[in-house]
Chains A and B, each alone.
Chain A
Amino acid sequence: MAARKSAPKKTAKSNTSKEELLEYYREMLLIRRFEEKSGQLYGMGLIGGFCHLYIGQEAVVVGLEAAAKEGDKRLTSYRDHGHMLACGMDPKGVMAELTGREGGYSRGKGGSMHMFSKEKHFYGGHGIVGAQVPIGTGLAFADKYLNNGGVTFAYFGDGAANQGQVYESFNMASLWELPVIYVIENNQYAMGTSLQRASSTPDIYTRGASFGIPGEAVDGMDVMAVKEAGERATEHCRSGKGPYILEMKTYRYRGHSMSDPAKYRTREEVQKVREERDAIEHVRELLLQGKHASEDDLKAIDKEIKAVVNDAAEFSKTSPEPALEELWTDIYA
């Protein structure tokens, strides 16, 4: 039961095939390029309001999606674009929601922070820090009630980990043995407040210990380590043992939102992570070193991803704004 820190993983080989590795590369790259494009569209005024980019954290969602099964559910905070792309939602629909257009997943009524896909079992996109944690616990409650074998991935950040409702959820999830994986994406900063300045303990994965929830810290910049941890967690949940905590040690390269003055950390700190721990570079090197792919192969993937993202951006600009009648729909059944 005790929380444990997983031994440093030897990332290479493990149980990952060449095809899988290429797929992770592709998916992580899609998220990064998509987010870069979002930043660009934001700068052009095509995306409004708040926009929180996922750049740097790609390995977390891609690795965990690799451990998920059809029918599993997921939900997260407002930093949600990566989760949506990783669970197979259409980049066009996501981008068009960012621009507030009819072709968006919420037909333009949700925006960056509030998107859903019933088809892909993506339950939001939640704008209130920590609120998705009891909601995800409730999705797991429903799965257990309906006995459908599903597992819910409830993602939240190191900042949300300090919300009281998280611990209310931990208690009920453990008490009722609910199949929920609490994925703490510890990107080191809650908006501009570093973990050291906000948390009484450095290890968030131990926070379930008093509820009897096992937890482990995972190198969230290593997609294979993430996937393997995800497999342990899903196995735990599916075997009826209740919730599981995964603390993903990750890093966000960009600001909290687009209007982040970045005064709380140094440029060098960000640069160092980019150079030494970048998740995409890591897989790229593995692919090249293992001769699983050539430079040309990877260039072809880059090009393909660029086209997907450009198509999404184009769609998000040309899709019309929602009809004015939409103001009044979807409020009541």
Chain B
Amino acid sequence: MATEVLMPALSPTMEEGTLAKWLVKEGDEVASGDILAEIETDKATMEFEAVDEGIIGKILIAEGTEGVKVNTPIAVLIEEGESADDVASAPAPAAEAPAAAAPAAAPVAAQPITSEDLSDPEIPEGTEMRSTTVREALRDAMAEEMRSDDTVFLMGEEVAEYQGAYKVSQGLLDEFGAKRVIDTPITEHGFAGLATGAAMGGLKPIVEFMTFNFAMQAIDHIINTAAKTRYMSGGQMTCPIVFRGPNGAAARVGAQHSQDYAAWYAQIPGLYVAMPYSAADAKGLMKTAIREETPVVFLENELLYGQSFEVPVMDDYAIPFGKARIWREGSDVTIVSFGIGMKYALEAADELAKEGISAEVIDLRTLRPIDYDTVIRSVQKTNRCITVEEGWPVASIGNHITAQIMERAFDYLDAPVINMTGKDVPMPYAANLEKLALVTTAEVVEAAKAVTYR
């Protein structure tokens, strides 16, 4: 049967083009792969090949014609013995371009994920509380999960024989052996990709980055592979993996080693992002992270590793993602923070209390999902809010929290929300400048006074 040859779309964006030149004439026999014509788009002149074999029955669009719309019949291909007039009422290829998705009525798109009714595991009365460093808590969480699931393994630079560049993996090699505690070469891009593949292949890797600064070499696999695989596979493939390591400024290590990635990773759908402050949260969130079927970016802090907190001695202390912890209740101002920012937030609350200002301090604990509800409820009570983080000010977590407060609690606000962040500069080396670049307790106190008009 005669078929129409249609003006092809030769690029993702092409809508029309110029039929620059015919390389065949009526009556010519053509085979699949033969060049029929040259077509000029706004980007290039391209050759247009025949897909079917047949005879050029009729040329419908003369060469030199400009503005030929994609899918316009440009020639008729016939079989031997047919005439070009046999072309049936166009064989309905009219490419019913899929209807554009009807825009959803409400701006659902802006709906970030939130979790409801989550709470910490109940700590039974009389549970022993043990003073534990953040470092030990992280190690304990990994060890417990490795004991209960053989597919969990730890991989990274110096995690095994060296016992961890920051000693987080101390003792794990002895207990679990070299098969499960694996020293890698210095090859972040490679081992992050390898571990991501291992996760797709049925294992549950924990990848330690010596610091998250080096994870930038590997960020393609964290975002383009780990975070997106479930979606791109229509739910067939999962990638249960934890990327962990110290994040943010340490001390006097300069610009390339002092950066907070909280806002970077928190933006990525398909990832969970945890950033604990206390040892108990480090342990409980790490256990959840390892059990998750979703890839988790777990942001630790070198300066917190050695700090001790009370951790409940329990068999299974796993903390759900998406639930903030209220560290301190208050009535005058809400201070929202996470990670090492909590140190400044809590110190500031102490200072403010001395001056009669009652601050409520909220630790977000996870940045994806974020527990907006706890923040909003608090702001509805205090009517004032400041946020505290170490990262840079532009597109910070604080900016995002502020936007949520504005959308959901605008009428409750008695003052503009202030975002306390690190300064908008690369981290300097000089001790005095470094101090200036970081957010300080004094600045947080000042901001709290500003929003309470004191």
Contact = CB atoms under 8 A, between A and B. Distances in A.
Greatest chain B CB density within 10 A among A123, A126, A259 is at A259
Contacts of B51: 36-37, 39-40, 43
A259 B42 CA distance: 11
13 contacts: A43-B10, A44-B8, A44-B95, A73-B201, A106-B233, A109-B232, A110-B234, A134-B189, A140-B197, A168-B193, A175-B185, A261-B43, A332-B272
Contacts of A43: 6, 8-10, 51, 70
Given A258-B11, A321-B98, A116 B193 contact: no
Interface residues of B, number: 71
Interface string A127-148: 1100101111111111101100
A104 interface: yes
| List of 4 A-B pairs having minimum Cβ-Cβ separation, nearest first | A138-B197, A168-B190, A134-B193, A142-B201
A332 B187 contact: no
A8 to B, nearest CB: 28
B6 A44 contact: yes
Interface of A: 36-37, 39-40, 42-46, 48-50, 73, 99-100, 104-110, 114-118, 123-128, 131, 133-143, 145-146, 164-165, 168-169, 171-172, 175, 253-255, 258-263, 267, 274, 321, 324, 327, 329-333
B198 A141 contact: yes
Given A39-B49, A123-B237, A321-B98, 19 more contacts: A36-B32, A36-B51, A49-B12, A114-B228, A116-B229, A125-B232, A134-B193, A138-B200, A141-B194, A142-B198, A168-B193, A171-B187, A258-B11, A259-B44, A261-B43, A261-B44, A262-B47, A274-B33, A332-B270
B292 A333 contact: yes
Interface string B139-156: 000000000000101000
A332 B46 contact: no
B102 interface: yes
Contact of B230 (A50, A136, A258, A330): A330
Contacts of B272: 332
A143 B93 contact: no
A79 to B, nearest CB: 16
A45 B235 contact: no
A330 B232 CA distance: 8
B30 interface: no
Contacts of B199: 138
A106 B194 contact: no
B225 interface: yes
B97 interface: yes
A16 to B, nearest CB: 27
B224 A259 contact: no
A115 B233 CA distance: 6
B222 to A, nearest CB: 11
Contacts of A109: 231-232, 234
B79 to A, nearest CB: 14
B424 interface: no
A156 B344 CA distance: 50
B236 interface: yes
A104 B234 contact: yes
Contacts of A139: 197-198, 200-201
B101 to A, nearest CB: 6
Nearest to A154: B197
B191 interface: yes
Contact of A116 (B93, B153, B221, B237): B237
A135 B98 contact: no
Interface string B1-32: 00000101111101000000000000000001
A159 B70 CA distance: 32
B232 A116 contact: yes
| Chain B interface main SS type | loop
B149 to A, nearest CB: 13
B104 interface: yes
A199 B113 CA distance: 47
B332 to A, nearest CB: 37
Interface in B39-87: 41, 43-47, 49, 51, 70-71
Given A107-B234, A117-B236, A258-B10, A45 B293 contact: no
Interface string B103-142: 0100000000100000000000000000000000000000
A131 B221 contact: yes
Contacts of A39: 49, 51
Contacts of B224: 127-128, 131
B233 A42 contact: no
Nearest to A118: B236
Contacts of B163: none
A134 B190 contact: yes
Contacts of A141: 194, 197-198, 201, 203
Contacts of A49: 12
Nearest to B48: A43
B220 interface: yes
A165 B193 contact: yes
B194 A116 contact: no
Contacts of B153: 145
A138 B46 contact: no
Contacts of B237: 116, 118, 123-124
Interface in B172-186: 179, 184-185
A73 B220 CA distance: 22
B416 interface: no
B426 interface: no
Contacts of B93: 44
B195 interface: yes
Given A44-B93, A45-B71, A138-B195, A100 B236 contact: no
Nearest to B8: A43
B425 interface: no
A95 B139 CA distance: 48
Nearest to A47: B9
A274 to B, nearest CB: 7
B46 A259 contact: yes
